[in-house]
Amino acid sequence: MDETLRQQQYALARHLRDPQRHAPPAGVEARRLKVYRELFYGAIEGLLAGSFPVMRQALGEQRWHARVHDFYANYRSQTPLFTEIAGAFVDYLQGVPPDAPWQLELAHYEWIEAQLYLSDAEDPPHDPLGNLLDGEPLLSCVARVLAYRWPVERIGADYQPQAAPATATLLLVYRDAGLQVRFARLTPLAYRLLALEQGTGRARLEALDADVMQGLALLEGLREQGIIIGTV
């Protein structure tokens, strides 16, 4: 590539990402530059708005667009895939001062929801009728067990806490048979039981010093919902 053309492309890219700091390349009509700026930013903002609708609503238009503009101008994404932009945004948020104390956890929660909705993962071989005490319970590949300091499932335009509750928010987020992403609050026992990734159902319950029959009823209920898909 001709070096002059290369430098023009770099100048244009820098200007489109951050027009406040970088002048446009010479010879490009201002009207066309405006179209390019709006087109490129609009594409990124639209992708993020679709992945983080609650955050956008909670922050309000001014703070939301300021945050997206900063991401667009300063974050150097390592992926060319549109479906991975939401993950890049969560990574970006880990390195900047938050607009709200719950921002990063809310972003992670919404990112998980988007991941599950788009997932084409397949469950590994398993026994759907396996004994949940003697076998190793297997969580669906479109289910996640999550713990947050903030009540992320409640945050929105009308509820924005400034202090984290004394107890953690324990959630099960999953995609149901109708391809809808849902969530359920978990008890501490259910969270610890599902968070353990290895061991038979009985071994997990004994490790938690939990009542075996109570734990079995919990596991069976989750299997009926398709969240535990059987045993391996």
Predicted confidence (pLDDT) per residue in 16-32, tens digit: 787 777 777 777 777 88
Q: Which pLDDT score is estimated for 5?
A: 65
d(CA 127, CA 231) in angstroms, rounded, equals 5
Name every residue whose Cβ is closer than 8 Å to that of residue 47 and which is 6 or more positions away in sequence: 82, 85, 86
d(CA 144, CA 89) in angstroms, rounded, equals 20
Q: Is residue 112 part of a domain?
A: no
Show the domain range for 56: 3-99
CA atoms within 13 A on the CB side of 190: 21
- State residue 27 phi and psi, 5-degree precision: 90, 5
Helix or strand run (H / E) with residue 118: helix 103-118
Q: DSSP character for 5?
A: H
Predicted confidence (pLDDT) per residue in 74-96, tens digit: 998 887 788 899 999 999 999 99
Q: What is the mean pLDDT of residues 159-176?
A: 96
Indicate whether 183 pLDDT > 70.
yes
Predicted confidence (pLDDT) per residue in 107-150, tens digit: 999 999 999 999 999 999 999 999 999 999 999 999 999 999 99
Name every residue whose Cβ is closer than 8 Å to that of residue 181 and which is 6 or more positions away in sequence: 113, 116, 117, 173, 174, 175
Global pTM value? 0.89
d(CA 132, CA 17) in angstroms, rounded, equals 53
Q: Hey, what are 152's tokens?
A: 């992320």
Indicate whether 14 pLDDT > 90.
no
CATH number at residue 68: 1.10.150
pLDDT band at residue 191, thresholds of 50, 70 and 90? Answer: very high
Question: For the residues of 96-108, what is the DSSP string, one character each?
Answer: S--SSTTHHHHHH
- Are 141 and 64 members of one domain? no
pLDDT band at residue 106, thresholds of 50, 70 and 90? Answer: very high
Name every residue whose Cβ is closer than 8 Å to that of residue 31 and which is 6 or more positions away in sequence: none
User: Domain tally for the chain?
Assistant: 2
Q: Is residue 119 part of a domain?
A: no
CATH number at residue 182: 3.90.930.50
Q: Look at residues 72, 99, 126 and tell me which one is the last residue of a structural domain.
A: 99
Indicate whether 168 pLDDT > 90.
yes
Q: Do the Cβ atoms of 166 and 136 come closer than 8 Å?
A: no
Q: Which pLDDT score is estimated for 95?
A: 96
Q: Within 10 Å of residue 230's Cβ, how many Cβ atoms?
A: 19
- Are 91 and 144 members of one domain? no
Q: Is residue 28 part of a domain?
A: yes
- Are 84 and 169 members of one domain? no
Q: Which of 50-59, 89-98, 104-113, 189-198 has the lowest mean pLDDT?
A: 189-198
Q: Look at residues 81, 99, 117 and tell me which one is the last residue of a structural domain.
A: 99
Picking from 116, 183, 101, the residue whose alpha carbon sits closest to that of residue 146 is 183
Indicate whether 188 pLDDT > 60.
yes
Q: Which of 34-43, 82-91, 112-121, 167-176 has the lowest mean pLDDT?
A: 34-43
- Are 27 and 78 members of one domain? yes
Beta bridge partner(s), residue 226: none
Average pLDDT, the chain: 92
CA angle 11, 17, 21 (to 5 degrees): 70
pLDDT band at residue 36, thresholds of 50, 70 and 90? Answer: confident
CA angle 191, 112, 63 (to 5 degrees): 120
Name every residue whose Cβ is closer than 8 Å to that of residue 203 and which is 6 or more positions away in sequence: none
